Structure 1
Amino acid sequence: MSADLILTITDRSRGGDFSAWFREQGATLVLTALGRGTATTEVLDCLGLEATEKAVLLCMLPSRKGLLRKAAKDLWLDVPGRGVMMAVPVSSIGGASAKNYLLQGEAEDRMEKKLTHELIVVIANQGATDQVMDAARAAGATGGTAVHAKGTGTELAKKFFGVSLASEKELIFILASAETRKPIMKAIMEKAGMQTEAQALAFSLPVTDLAGLRQFNVE
């Protein structure tokens, strides 16, 4: 039996529409964070755009064939600027009560599927988004979304990395093709890794389904 974490990135003005849609699909808990697009000032000026404020939504749903296709139709994700939605497989849920609460006792067997994209998650010091994204773009990334966060446990950093870590963080989401994931992560580690001011950590998650990809690449 399987479940997916559904991660959505859209304009803040549409966050409520997505949240309501998730609840219609049976989501019992929808989390919303505020983020921002990572397009450079020069790019925005050339396009005549203002900096884009984003809503990042997270919820858990049973794995359902065709769910994201339904989302693309209901939420007009094929229209530029509407947002991107992706499914990340959940490997386990702690406790039967939590599982029943999050999934309402419903889940399907997962079908084997070739992964075409991965979600790169970067944790970096506050203010380091441009440094991370410059490295990522040089390796083939087309864009990303940053969320401000606060880290804990930073006192353990010296034990593992020999450096001190700031508690104020940037959480950066970069959707990459399976072919570009490795060079993008390598570039981030080389140009914005632990021995730089950015002190970035990066990991990737498999994306089993995707809607709105064309719009995600336009900031």
Structure 2
Amino acid sequence: MTDGNRLPRLKLMVTIIDRDKGALAVSLFRAHHLHFDYLCMGLGTASSRILDYFGLSETEKDVVFTLVPEPCVGKILRLTAEKFQIHRPGQGILFTVPLSAVSAQVPQVLCKKEYLAEDGAEEAENMEHTKQYTLVLAVVNHGSVDAVMDAARSEGARGGTVLYARRVGMEDMENVLGFTFQPEKEVVAILAPKTQKKALMEAINRSAGLTTEARGILFALPVDDLIGLQPPIDNGAGQE
């Protein structure tokens, strides 16, 4: 589990579930000594056809960011998936992102020997396409989500999650680029197969990149573990 006195690595686990369930997820994580949770309000962008298929009436989401010791990831993923029925269509998505560094005090809190011994190491079951997905993030001006998602769907993306943000301290960048930045931002997060990443980002950049009215900035993060992303729906309707 550990290499001598070296503490285990941490991963960032992202839980996307229906609005008002985020607090329940945080309670579950706290019961397993995970004390660093950040709850954001999000908005799903699935098409109406997919929403109808899943029987969903709205797309408001809670997005919970949680720091998890690597040896405990399998158990925490399993418990979360079971509690919120993540393996059922439309119930949510769980995934982890590797971290290269974190504040020194954080592993000391999360990786106490008694915590690791209690939770133990466990492989996550029914992991979907492990390490074959990437998380594409597009930070765009407020009101630009449709431009991002139209471009993303043209390359096979089925949906994403929107977080709302505000940009600060961009005066120097505005002077360099020669145009102003709208402070209100939308962060569109899209899980996509690695094989689609380049084409997906190029399509979004053409429609909502830095030189467009959306003033979008794109980047991608690796995904280690993934539960809840269902296979594409094929009902003969073809491309939307």
Which TM-score band (shorter chain)? 0.7 to 0.9
The offset of 1:53, in angstroms, is 0.6
The offset of 1:175, in angstroms, is 0.5
The offset of 1:182, in angstroms, is 1.4
The offset of 1:184, in angstroms, is 0.7
Taking the aligned partners of 1:201 and 1:145, their CA distance within structure 2 comes to: 16
Q: 2:96 aligns with which of 72, 87, 91?
A: 87
Q: What amino acid sits opposite 2:156 in the alignment?
A: G
* Alignment gaps of 5+ in structure 1: none
* Pair 1:8–1:193, CA change in 2 (3 A): same
Instruction: Report if aligned partners of 1:33, 1:57 keep a CA contact under 8 Å in 2.
Output: yes
Q: 1:74 aligns with which of 74, 83, 91?
A: 83
* CA deviation string 1:95-114 (max 9, x = no partner): x323323x2446899xxx96
Q: Which region of structure 1 is more displaced relative to structure 2, 20-29 or 158-167?
A: 158-167
Q: Which region of structure 1 is more displaced relative to structure 2, 113-122 or 85-94?
A: 113-122
Taking the aligned partners of 2:88 and 2:204, their CA distance within structure 1 comes to: 31
Which residue is 1:135 aligned to?
151
Q: Do structure 1's residue 20 and structure 2's residue 27 form an aligned pair?
A: yes
Identity %: 35
Instruction: Report if aligned partners of 2:134, 2:191 keep a CA contact under 8 Å in 1.
Output: yes
* Pair 1:105–1:92, CA change in 2 (3 A): farther
The offset of 1:214, in angstroms, is 1.5
* Pair 1:182–1:55, CA change in 2 (3 A): same
Larger radius of gyration between Structure 1 and Structure 2? 2
The offset of 1:46, in angstroms, is 6.4
Q: Trace 1:36-185 onto structure 2 (pairs within 5 A).
A: 36-40=43-47, 43=49, 50-64=57-71, 66-67=74-75, 68-94=77-103, 96-101=104-109, 103-105=110-112, 115-185=131-201
The offset of 1:119, in angstroms, is 0.8
The offset of 1:93, in angstroms, is 1.0
Q: Which region of structure 1 is more displaced relative to structure 2, 159-168 or 176-185?
A: 159-168
The offset of 1:31, in angstroms, is 0.8
Instruction: Report if aligned partners of 2:25, 2:80 keep a CA contact under 8 Å in 1.
Output: no
SS at match of 1:73: helix
The offset of 1:75, in angstroms, is 2.9
* Pair 1:76–1:45, CA change in 2 (3 A): closer
When the two chains are superposed, the root-mean-square deviation of aligned CA atoms in Å is: 2.8
Instruction: Report if aligned partners of 2:10, 2:107 keep a CA contact under 8 Å in 1.
Output: no
The offset of 1:213, in angstroms, is 1.2
* Alignment gaps of 5+ in structure 2: 1-7, 122-128, 234-240
Taking the aligned partners of 2:167 and 2:40, their CA distance within structure 1 comes to: 15
Which residue is 1:10 aligned to?
17
Which residue is 1:198 aligned to?
214
* Pair 1:182–1:45, CA change in 2 (3 A): closer
The offset of 1:160, in angstroms, is 4.5
Q: Across the two proteins, how many residue pairs are aligned to each other?
A: 212
Instruction: Report if aligned partners of 1:83, 1:216 keep a CA contact under 8 Å in 2.
Output: no
Taking the aligned partners of 2:42 and 2:85, their CA distance within structure 1 comes to: 21
SS at match of 1:179: helix
* CA deviation string 1:125-167 (max 9, x = no partner): 0111111111111111110010111111221322453321111
The offset of 1:168, in angstroms, is 0.4
Instruction: Report if aligned partners of 1:124, 1:199 keep a CA contact under 8 Å in 2.
Output: yes
Q: What amino acid sits opposite 2:163 in the alignment?
A: V
